Amino acid sequence: FLRYVRRSSHFGSSRSAHRARPHRGASPSGQCLTVRPAAMVERLTYRRKNRYNTKSNIQKIVKTPGGRLVFHHQKKRAKGPHCGDCGGKIIGVPVKRPIEYKRIPRRDRRVNRAYGGSRCAKCTRMRVMRAFLIEEQKCVKQVLAEKLSQAKEKEAPSKKGKKSKA
């Protein structure tokens, strides 16, 4: 209920950056009002052993049917599985805390393809294409090597006919 109101002498002066002082009971229009204390807020206490506001002790205020305010303990938000290559989320796998993945069947923990629960579809496609192209490159190298060896075999008999001086 404390409002900060500048004095009228400060408005036109060069000291406009001066910090305003609190003025009890003043409204924006400048009239004095009586200050009443706010109604007492219901105090809430932690319901479990940990009494500190930590990451693992997140509480939510809930109003009961009886009109009381109580704390409800909240679980940590899950991040869900992410791709090991690009770091993006894996679509099709539910977002749960690690221990909860134990309780769901294995088919729900992964996607039905190669690298199902560990790589996203885009990265899987890139891996398959890369492997295919590498295999194709190996085949091309092998064919070229065979052609070179056949060409050498054809040239070899013509050279054997001539004897060199030794």
Q: pLDDT (tens digit, 9 = 90+) per residue, 118-141?
A: 999 999 999 999 999 999 999 999
Q: Is residue 137 situated within a structural domain?
A: yes
d(CA 53, CA 71): 12
Number of domains in the chain: 2
Residue of 23, 29, 33 whose CA lies nearest to 3:
23
Strand intervals (E) in the chain: 2-4, 22-24, 58-63, 69-74
- Taking only the tens place, the pLDDT of each residue in 77-110 is 999 999 999 999 999 999 999 999 999 999 999 9
Q: Is residue 22 situated within a structural domain?
A: no
- Taking only the tens place, the pLDDT of each residue in 34-46 is 666 677 778 899 9
| Confidence (pLDDT) at 41 | 77
Whether residue 136 sits in one domain with residue 104: yes
Whether residue 100 sits in one domain with residue 118: yes
Is the predicted pLDDT of residue 9 greater than 60, yes or no? no
Whether residue 142 sits in one domain with residue 127: yes
Q: Is residue 117 situated within a structural domain?
A: yes
| pLDDT, greater one: 162 or 45 | 45
Query: How far, in Å, are 70, 97, 98, 104 from residue 76 at the CA level?
Result: 19, 8, 11, 19
Domain extent for 52: 46-76
Counting residues of the chain whose pLDDT is more than 70, the rounded percentage is 71
Q: Any idea which residue has 């805390």 for tokens?
A: 97
**Average pLDDT for 109-122:** 93
Whether residue 88 sits in one domain with residue 69: no
What is the model's pTM? Answer: 0.56
Q: Is residue 14 situated within a structural domain?
A: no
CB 100 within 8 A of CB 81: no
What is the CA 83 to chain-centroid distance, rounded? 11
Whether residue 115 sits in one domain with residue 66: no
| Confidence (pLDDT) at 40 | 76
